[in-house]
């Protein structure tokens, strides 16, 4: 391994984190990081004083181009784009380390509602502490404009993407109680594990997008839509948090992500026709 390759590999994990938060797709993130590697090989690295910063900027530019192209395709075709949660079914103690750096599906869903410029400004500044002066160069705007983009994104994220505050064992207990109540068709037991203001979202290539609010309405929706498949559910880690896959492991019918706060389920995100699990 030559010195340039070694240095790049040192930064690969960080670059993948940036790209996944920008794109919501592990495969697209890997493509963006690979493109950064190709550009690095075509560049005069002797002039690069801060390789980590240079690579982060390159990955951000590649992701911005991908987001803009994705939005243009969706507007032209009317198709929907589906985020790719990172799913693991292995019950390995090392999986708990994912929680320290996990990005919840609920947050990725909200990030998808931002403009590409808002998403880049928020991700780079709020998640990776990149200065607005550097973000402005990527977006070809002023630092004040970049700051305003991040501020708008932050307001939306704060209001729509709560973070889990429960330990992984407690998350698993509540998700197991949710699945058991769904299997039994027990409305009261479902309501008992749901926050009064819980949000239930369904996204998928073949499923009509739907959003339901409130414990009672969400419980009724789960029993009407999900109960027939509840017996196919099995525990999984979804983006580092307790979740569920429904159907065969190698090709699930859906992946269900949960956000748990104040000892209640505050959001449920169902991704139908997901990518195969790892």
Block mean pLDDT (10 aa), the chain, length 278: 83 93 92 93 78 94 95 75 79 51 83 95 96 96 97 88 85 96 95 96 77 96 84 90 88 91 94 67
Residue 102 is assigned to a structural domain of this protein: no
Helices 143-160, 132-139: inter-axial angle, 10-degree rounding: 100
- pLDDT confidence of residue 230: 83
Q: How far apart are CA 179 and CA 173, in angstroms?
A: 10
- pLDDT confidence of residue 90: 64
Helix, strand, coil distribution of the chain in percent, nearest 5: 60, 20, 25
Task: Check whether residue 151 and residue 187 sit in a common domain.
Answer: no
Q: How far apart are CA 56 and CA 18, in angstroms?
A: 8
- pLDDT confidence of residue 249: 76
Other beta carbons less than 10 A from residue 109's beta carbon: 21
Q: How far apart are CA 135 and CA 117, in angstroms?
A: 10
Task: Check whether residue 155 and residue 252 sit in a common domain.
Answer: no
Task: Check whether residue 133 and residue 12 sit in a common domain.
Answer: yes
Confidence (pTM): 0.86
Q: How far apart are CA 277 and CA 273, in angstroms?
A: 11
Residue 79 is assigned to a structural domain of this protein: yes
DSSP states of 179-206 as a string?
HHHHHHT-HHHHHHHEEEEEEEEEEESS
Residue 90 is assigned to a structural domain of this protein: no
Q: How far apart are CA 94 and CA 79, in angstroms?
A: 37
CATH code of the domain containing 174: 3.10.450.50
Task: Check whether residue 34 and residue 151 sit in a common domain.
Answer: yes
Q: How many domains does the chain have?
A: 2
Q: How far apart are CA 22 and CA 20, in angstroms?
A: 5
Q: Which residues contact 130 (CB under 8 A, 6 or more apart)?
A: 56, 124
Structural domain including 235 reads 168-272
Task: Check whether residue 25 and residue 123 sit in a common domain.
Answer: yes
- pLDDT confidence of residue 198: 96
Q: How far apart are CA 181 and CA 96, in angstroms?
A: 26
Strand spans (E) along the chain: 87-88, 194-204, 210-213, 233-238, 241-247, 252-261, 264-272
3-state secondary structure of 164: coil
Residue 99 is assigned to a structural domain of this protein: no
Q: How far apart are CA 7 and CA 197, in angstroms?
A: 47
């Amino acid at each position: 391994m030559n010195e340039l390759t070694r240095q790049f590999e040192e930064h690969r994990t960080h670059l993948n984190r940036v790209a996944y938060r920008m794109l919501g797709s592990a495969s697209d993130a890997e493509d963006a990081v690979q493109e950064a590697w190709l550009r690095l090989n075509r560049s005069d690295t002797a002039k690069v004083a801060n390789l980590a910063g240079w690579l982060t900027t390159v990955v951000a530019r590649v992701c911005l181009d991908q987001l803009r192209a994705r939005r243009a395709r969706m507007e032209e075709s009317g198709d929907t784009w589906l985020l790719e949660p990172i799913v693991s079914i292995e019950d390995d103690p090392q999986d708990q380390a994912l929680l320290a750096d996990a990005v919840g599906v609920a947050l990725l869903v909200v990030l998808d509602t931002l403009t590409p410029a808002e998403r880049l400004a928020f991700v780079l500044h709020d998640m990776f502490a990149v200065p607005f002066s550097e973000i402005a160069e990527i977006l070809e705007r002023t630092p004040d404009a970049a700051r305003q983009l991040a501020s708008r994104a932050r307001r939306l994220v704060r209001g729509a993407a709560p973070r889990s505050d429960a330990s992984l064992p407690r998350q698993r207990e509540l998700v197991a109680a949710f699945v058991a109540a769904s299997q039994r068709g027990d409305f009261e037991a479902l309501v008992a594990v749901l926050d009064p203001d819980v949000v239930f979202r369904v996204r998928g290539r073949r499923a009509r997008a739907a959003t339901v609010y409130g414990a009672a309405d969400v419980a009724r929706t789960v029993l009407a839509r999900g109960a027939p498949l509840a017996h196919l559910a099995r525990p999984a880690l979804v983006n580092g948090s307790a979740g569920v896959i429904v159907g065969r492991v190698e090709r699930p019918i859906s992946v269900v992500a949960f956000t748990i706060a104040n000892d209640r389920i505050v959001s449920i995100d169902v991704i139908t026709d997901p990518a195969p699990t790892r």
